[in-house]
Protein backbone atom coordinates (compact mmCIF):
# COMPACT_ATOMS: atom_id res chain seq x y z
CA UNK A 1 0.00 0.00 0.00
CA UNK A 2 1.00 3.46 -0.85
CA UNK A 3 0.05 6.45 1.22
CA UNK A 4 -0.53 7.02 4.94
CA UNK A 5 -4.09 7.00 6.22
CA UNK A 6 -4.06 10.72 6.95
CA UNK A 7 -3.72 11.57 3.29
CA UNK A 8 -6.74 9.47 2.36
CA UNK A 9 -8.75 11.16 5.12
CA UNK A 10 -7.54 14.58 3.97
CA UNK A 11 -8.76 13.87 0.44
CA UNK A 12 -12.09 12.74 1.88
CA UNK A 13 -12.36 15.95 3.94
CA UNK A 14 -11.60 18.15 0.95
CA UNK A 15 -14.23 16.41 -1.21
CA UNK A 16 -16.79 16.63 1.60
CA UNK A 17 -16.15 20.37 2.05
CA UNK A 18 -16.53 20.96 -1.69
CA UNK A 19 -19.85 19.10 -1.52
CA UNK A 20 -21.04 21.25 1.40
CA UNK A 21 -20.07 24.38 -0.52
CA UNK A 22 -22.05 23.15 -3.51
CA UNK A 23 -25.15 22.60 -1.39
CA UNK A 24 -24.83 26.04 0.18
CA UNK A 25 -24.01 28.02 -2.95
CA UNK A 26 -25.99 26.56 -5.81
CA UNK A 27 -29.60 27.43 -6.55
CA UNK A 28 -30.22 24.62 -9.03
CA UNK A 29 -31.85 21.66 -7.30
CA UNK A 30 -30.14 19.10 -9.56
CA UNK A 31 -26.67 20.50 -8.90
CA UNK A 32 -27.44 20.45 -5.17
CA UNK A 33 -28.30 16.79 -5.55
CA UNK A 34 -24.97 16.15 -7.28
CA UNK A 35 -23.18 17.87 -4.41
CA UNK A 36 -24.94 15.53 -1.98
CA UNK A 37 -23.65 12.59 -4.04
CA UNK A 38 -20.18 14.08 -3.76
CA UNK A 39 -20.49 14.19 0.02
CA UNK A 40 -21.65 10.57 0.16
CA UNK A 41 -18.65 9.58 -1.93
CA UNK A 42 -16.29 11.43 0.36
CA UNK A 43 -17.67 9.47 3.32
CA UNK A 44 -17.32 6.24 1.32
CA UNK A 45 -13.67 7.05 0.70
CA UNK A 46 -13.06 7.57 4.41
CA UNK A 47 -14.78 4.26 5.21
CA UNK A 48 -12.73 2.36 2.63
CA UNK A 49 -9.55 3.97 3.96
CA UNK A 50 -10.28 2.94 7.54
CA UNK A 51 -11.25 -0.54 6.37
CA UNK A 52 -7.89 -0.90 4.63
CA UNK A 53 -5.78 0.45 7.45
CA UNK A 54 -7.50 -1.41 10.28
CA UNK A 55 -7.66 -4.59 8.21
CA UNK A 56 -11.38 -5.14 8.62
CA UNK A 57 -14.18 -5.73 6.16
CA UNK A 58 -16.81 -3.83 8.19
CA UNK A 59 -16.10 -0.49 6.53
CA UNK A 60 -16.70 -1.97 3.10
CA UNK A 61 -20.05 -3.38 4.24
CA UNK A 62 -21.00 0.12 5.30
CA UNK A 63 -19.94 1.47 1.90
CA UNK A 64 -22.19 -1.15 0.32
CA UNK A 65 -25.14 0.04 2.41
CA UNK A 66 -24.37 3.71 1.70
CA UNK A 67 -24.42 2.95 -2.04
CA UNK A 68 -27.84 1.31 -1.65
CA UNK A 69 -29.07 4.34 0.23
CA UNK A 70 -27.65 6.71 -2.41
CA UNK A 71 -29.41 4.85 -5.21
CA UNK A 72 -32.76 4.97 -3.39
CA UNK A 73 -32.28 8.61 -2.44
CA UNK A 74 -31.43 9.70 -5.98
CA UNK A 75 -34.43 7.89 -7.46
CA UNK A 76 -36.89 9.44 -5.00
CA UNK A 77 -35.24 12.88 -5.09
CA UNK A 78 -35.26 13.12 -8.86
CA UNK A 79 -38.90 12.03 -8.90
CA UNK A 80 -39.66 14.87 -6.48
CA UNK A 81 -37.75 17.32 -8.70
CA UNK A 82 -39.74 16.19 -11.75
CA UNK A 83 -43.01 16.59 -9.85
CA UNK A 84 -41.95 20.07 -8.72
CA UNK A 85 -40.94 21.05 -12.25
CA UNK A 86 -44.32 19.91 -13.52
CA UNK A 87 -46.08 22.20 -11.07
CA UNK A 88 -43.78 25.22 -11.04
CA UNK A 89 -41.76 25.05 -14.30
CA UNK A 90 -38.54 25.74 -12.40
CA UNK A 91 -35.92 23.92 -10.36
CA UNK A 92 -34.53 27.07 -8.78
CA UNK A 93 -34.84 26.53 -5.04
CA UNK A 94 -35.28 30.26 -4.40
CA UNK A 95 -38.57 30.17 -6.29
CA UNK A 96 -39.80 26.95 -4.74
CA UNK A 97 -41.40 28.10 -1.51
CA UNK A 98 -44.65 26.17 -1.46
CA UNK A 99 -44.56 25.77 2.30
CA UNK A 100 -44.26 29.51 2.81
CA UNK A 101 -47.45 30.78 1.18
CA UNK B 1 6.78 5.00 -4.94
CA UNK B 2 5.08 4.98 -8.33
CA UNK B 3 1.72 3.99 -6.82
CA UNK B 4 2.05 6.78 -4.27
CA UNK B 5 2.53 9.37 -7.04
CA UNK B 6 -0.41 7.78 -8.86
CA UNK B 7 -2.57 8.24 -5.76
CA UNK B 8 -1.80 11.96 -5.54
CA UNK B 9 -2.42 12.35 -9.27
CA UNK B 10 -5.85 10.71 -8.92
CA UNK B 11 -6.60 12.77 -5.84
CA UNK B 12 -5.88 16.01 -7.70
CA UNK B 13 -8.11 14.89 -10.58
CA UNK B 14 -10.91 14.11 -8.11
CA UNK B 15 -10.60 17.47 -6.37
CA UNK B 16 -10.42 19.41 -9.65
CA UNK B 17 -13.47 17.69 -11.10
CA UNK B 18 -15.39 18.17 -7.83
CA UNK B 19 -14.65 21.91 -7.96
CA UNK B 20 -15.77 21.92 -11.58
CA UNK B 21 -19.05 20.24 -10.56
CA UNK B 22 -19.75 22.93 -8.00
CA UNK B 23 -18.74 25.94 -10.08
CA UNK B 24 -20.06 25.12 -13.54
CA UNK B 25 -23.26 26.81 -14.68
CA UNK B 26 -24.30 24.09 -17.11
CA UNK B 27 -25.81 21.07 -15.33
CA UNK B 28 -24.78 18.62 -18.09
CA UNK B 29 -21.10 19.58 -17.78
CA UNK B 30 -21.41 19.22 -14.01
CA UNK B 31 -22.75 15.68 -14.44
CA UNK B 32 -19.91 14.69 -16.78
CA UNK B 33 -17.33 16.11 -14.35
CA UNK B 34 -18.98 14.15 -11.55
CA UNK B 35 -18.57 10.95 -13.61
CA UNK B 36 -14.84 11.75 -13.92
CA UNK B 37 -14.69 12.26 -10.16
CA UNK B 38 -16.36 8.89 -9.56
CA UNK B 39 -13.95 7.12 -11.91
CA UNK B 40 -10.91 8.55 -10.19
CA UNK B 41 -12.39 7.54 -6.82
CA UNK B 42 -12.91 4.02 -8.18
CA UNK B 43 -9.23 3.78 -9.11
CA UNK B 44 -8.32 5.07 -5.63
CA UNK B 45 -10.44 2.23 -4.20
CA UNK B 46 -8.40 -0.16 -6.35
CA UNK B 47 -5.20 1.27 -4.86
CA UNK B 48 -6.73 0.74 -1.41
CA UNK B 49 -7.37 -2.91 -2.40
CA UNK B 50 -11.15 -2.65 -2.13
CA UNK B 51 -11.81 -4.36 -5.44
CA UNK B 52 -15.52 -5.07 -5.03
CA UNK B 53 -16.24 -1.52 -3.94
CA UNK B 54 -14.31 -0.17 -6.94
CA UNK B 55 -16.42 -2.21 -9.35
CA UNK B 56 -19.62 -1.23 -7.54
CA UNK B 57 -18.59 2.43 -7.69
CA UNK B 58 -18.32 2.27 -11.47
CA UNK B 59 -21.52 0.24 -11.88
CA UNK B 60 -23.81 2.04 -9.46
CA UNK B 61 -22.51 5.61 -9.33
CA UNK B 62 -20.90 6.21 -12.72
CA UNK B 63 -23.38 3.89 -14.44
CA UNK B 64 -26.82 3.91 -12.90
CA UNK B 65 -27.01 7.10 -10.85
CA UNK B 66 -25.36 9.42 -13.35
CA UNK B 67 -27.46 8.08 -16.22
CA UNK B 68 -30.52 8.88 -14.10
CA UNK B 69 -29.17 12.39 -13.52
CA UNK B 70 -28.51 12.96 -17.22
CA UNK B 71 -31.97 11.70 -18.15
CA UNK B 72 -33.61 14.10 -15.74
CA UNK B 73 -31.43 17.05 -16.82
CA UNK B 74 -32.32 16.47 -20.45
CA UNK B 75 -35.98 15.83 -19.63
CA UNK B 76 -36.26 19.16 -17.82
CA UNK B 77 -34.42 21.02 -20.60
CA UNK B 78 -32.66 23.45 -18.28
CA UNK B 79 -30.75 26.37 -19.66
CA UNK B 80 -27.70 27.92 -18.12
CA UNK B 81 -28.14 28.88 -14.54
CA UNK B 82 -27.80 32.61 -13.90
CA UNK B 83 -24.35 33.72 -12.92
CA UNK B 84 -24.31 33.43 -9.19
CA UNK B 85 -23.99 36.48 -7.02
CA UNK B 86 -21.89 34.40 -4.65
CA UNK B 87 -20.53 36.83 -2.18
CA UNK B 88 -23.04 39.60 -2.55
CA UNK B 89 -25.06 38.41 0.37
CA UNK B 90 -23.89 38.11 3.91
CA UNK B 91 -25.45 34.64 3.96
CA UNK B 92 -23.10 33.29 1.32
CA UNK B 93 -20.00 34.73 2.96
CA UNK B 94 -21.17 33.32 6.27
CA UNK B 95 -21.67 29.87 4.74
CA UNK B 96 -18.15 29.96 3.32
CA UNK B 97 -16.86 30.91 6.75
CA UNK B 98 -18.76 28.04 8.39
CA UNK B 99 -17.43 25.48 5.89
CA UNK B 100 -13.92 26.75 6.51
CA UNK B 101 -14.44 26.42 10.25
CA UNK B 102 -15.75 22.87 9.78
CA UNK B 103 -12.74 21.97 7.64
CA UNK B 104 -10.21 23.39 10.09
CA UNK B 105 -12.00 21.68 12.98
CA UNK B 106 -11.81 18.20 11.47
CA UNK B 107 -8.27 18.90 10.33
CA UNK B 108 -7.19 19.73 13.89
CA UNK B 109 -8.95 16.66 15.28
CA UNK B 110 -7.44 14.33 12.70
CA UNK B 111 -3.88 15.62 12.76
CA UNK B 112 -3.32 16.53 16.38
CA UNK B 113 -0.90 13.72 17.19
CA UNK B 114 2.71 14.62 16.66
CA UNK B 115 3.37 13.43 13.16
CA UNK B 116 2.18 9.83 13.55
CA UNK B 117 1.30 8.64 10.08
CA UNK B 118 -0.67 5.43 10.19
CA UNK B 119 0.88 2.92 7.84
CA UNK B 120 -1.14 -0.16 6.95
CA UNK B 121 -0.14 -3.74 7.58
CA UNK B 122 1.36 -5.57 4.66
CA UNK B 123 -1.22 -8.31 4.44
CA UNK B 124 -4.79 -7.40 3.62
CA UNK B 125 -7.40 -9.96 2.73
CA UNK B 126 -10.67 -8.11 3.34
CA UNK B 127 -11.01 -6.57 -0.12
CA UNK B 128 -12.17 -9.54 -2.16
CA UNK B 129 -15.72 -10.64 -2.85
CA UNK B 130 -15.42 -13.66 -0.56
CA UNK B 131 -14.77 -11.71 2.63
CA UNK B 132 -17.37 -9.06 1.79
CA UNK B 133 -20.03 -11.63 0.95
CA UNK B 134 -19.34 -13.62 4.09
CA UNK B 135 -19.71 -10.50 6.26
CA UNK B 136 -22.88 -9.42 4.43
CA UNK B 137 -24.64 -12.74 4.85
CA UNK B 138 -23.60 -13.54 8.39
CA UNK B 139 -22.74 -10.59 10.60
CA UNK B 140 -24.70 -7.97 8.65
CA UNK B 141 -27.64 -10.05 7.49
CA UNK B 142 -30.31 -7.83 9.06
CA UNK B 143 -28.96 -4.54 7.59
CA UNK B 144 -28.73 -6.29 4.23
CA UNK B 145 -32.39 -7.29 4.36
CA UNK B 146 -33.41 -3.83 5.55
CA UNK B 147 -31.53 -2.36 2.59
CA UNK B 148 -33.54 -4.53 0.21
CA UNK B 149 -36.73 -3.32 1.87
CA UNK B 150 -35.49 0.28 1.47
CA UNK B 151 -34.98 -0.29 -2.26
CA UNK B 152 -38.53 -1.66 -2.56
CA UNK B 153 -39.96 1.38 -0.76
CA UNK B 154 -37.93 3.72 -2.98
CA UNK B 155 -39.21 1.91 -6.09
CA UNK B 156 -42.86 2.28 -5.08
CA UNK B 157 -42.36 5.88 -3.96
CA UNK B 158 -40.67 6.87 -7.20
CA UNK B 159 -43.44 5.43 -9.34
CA UNK B 160 -46.04 7.14 -7.17
CA UNK B 161 -44.30 10.54 -7.27
CA UNK B 162 -43.50 10.60 -10.97
CA UNK B 163 -46.92 9.49 -12.15
CA UNK B 164 -49.13 12.20 -13.56
CA UNK B 165 -52.33 10.65 -12.29
CA UNK B 166 -52.73 7.81 -9.85
Q: What ipTM was assigned to the predicted interfaces of this complex?
A: 0.91
B59 and B139 fall within a common domain: no
Q: What is the pLDDT of residue B108?
A: 78
Query: Of B32, B27, B21, B38, which is closest to residue B74 (Cα–Cα)?
Result: B27
CA A13-A16-A17 angle, to 5 degrees, is 85
> Hey, is B86 helix, strand or coil?
coil
pLDDT tens track for A50-91 = 888 888 888 899 999 999 999 999 999 999 888 888 887 878
Query: Of A41, A40, A39, A55, which is closest to residue A5 (Cα–Cα)?
Result: A55
Query: Hey, is the C-beta of B147 within 8 angstroms of any chain A C-beta?
Result: yes
Q: What is the pLDDT of residue B54?
A: 92
B107 to chain A: closest CA residue: A10
B75 and B103 fall within a common domain: yes
For B121-146, what is the mean pLDDT?
82
Q: Crossing angle of helices B90-110/A5-25, nearest 10°?
A: 170
CATH code linked to domain A28-92: 1.10.287.3510
Contact B10, B44 (CB under 8 A): yes
B43 and B117 fall within a common domain: yes
- Would you say residue A101 has pLDDT above 60? no
For A5-27, what is the mean pLDDT?
88
For A27-39, what is the mean pLDDT?
91
B107 and B27 fall within a common domain: yes
The count of structural domains within chain B is 2
List beta partners, residue A92.
A28
B99 and B152 fall within a common domain: no
Query: Hey, is the C-beta of B32 within 8 angstroms of any chain A C-beta?
Result: no
Split at pLDDT 50, 70, 90, the class of B117 is: low
Question: Is there a contact between B37 and A74 if contact means CB atoms under 8 Å apart?
Answer: no
B57 neighbourhood in chain A, CB within 8 Å: 44, 67
Instruction: Name the residue facing B154 among A1, A49, A76 (closest C-beta).
Output: A76
Q: Which residue has the higher pLDDT, A14 or B86?
A: A14
| Percent of chain B residues past pLDDT 70, beyond the cut | 83
User: Domain coordinates of chain A in residue numbers?
Assistant: 28-92
| Whole-structure pTM value | 0.87
B19 and B93 fall within a common domain: yes
**Structural domain of B115:** 2-127
B119 and B164 fall within a common domain: no
Task: Tell me how far the alpha carbon of residue A4 is from its chain's centroid.
Answer: 25
Q: What is the pLDDT of residue A56?
A: 84
Contact A50, B122 (CB under 8 A): no
Query: Of B146, B21, B80, which is closest to residue A37 (Cα–Cα)?
Result: B21
Taking the C-alpha atoms of residue A55 and residue A71, their distance in angstroms, rounded to an integer, is: 27
pLDDT tens track for B89-100 = 777 778 888 888
Give burial (CB, 10 Å; 0-12/13-18/19+) of B164. Answer: exposed
Q: What is the mean pLDDT of chain A?
A: 87
Amino acid sequence: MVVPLEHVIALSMILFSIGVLGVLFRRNAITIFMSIELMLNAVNLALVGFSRYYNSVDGQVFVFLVMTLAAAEVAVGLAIIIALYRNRQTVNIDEINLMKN
Amino acid sequence: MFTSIFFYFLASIAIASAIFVVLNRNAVYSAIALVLCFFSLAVIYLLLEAYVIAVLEVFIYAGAIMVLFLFVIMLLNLGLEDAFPYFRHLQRALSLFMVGLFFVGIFLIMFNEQGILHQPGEKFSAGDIYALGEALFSKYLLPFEVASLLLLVALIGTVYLAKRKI
